[in-house]
Amino acid sequence: MSIEEQQYIKGFNHGYLLTKHLPDLVLKLVKGITGKTGDYFAGFFSGKEECEMEHTKDQLAEFDAIRNQQIDKEREIE
């Protein structure tokens, strides 16, 4: 594995984990590193985006479950 790939992976992992556990810190970091180039930063932003997408998917799944519960309750009432 090349050094560039290692840096990208390290950045991805850092971006993902920080976004998952310390999202407020990531917002501050992003302001400071916007415009930076390099494999680490590309990976960091990709990891951040991946975590945000997974969080959004989880929220949508929760909303669907709540909606389905409500529909089931309405059917029981009828």
CA distance 64 to 4: 40
pLDDT block averages, 10 residues each, the chain of length 78: 97 98 95 90 97 95 87 73
CA distance 73 to 61: 18
pTM recorded for the entire structure: 0.80
* Number of structural domains in the chain: 1
Domain hosting 9: range is 3-77
- Residue 65: name the closest of 57, 55, 76 by CA: 57
CA distance 42 to 7: 9
CA distance 78 to 68: 15
- CB 25, CB 55: distance < 8 Å: no
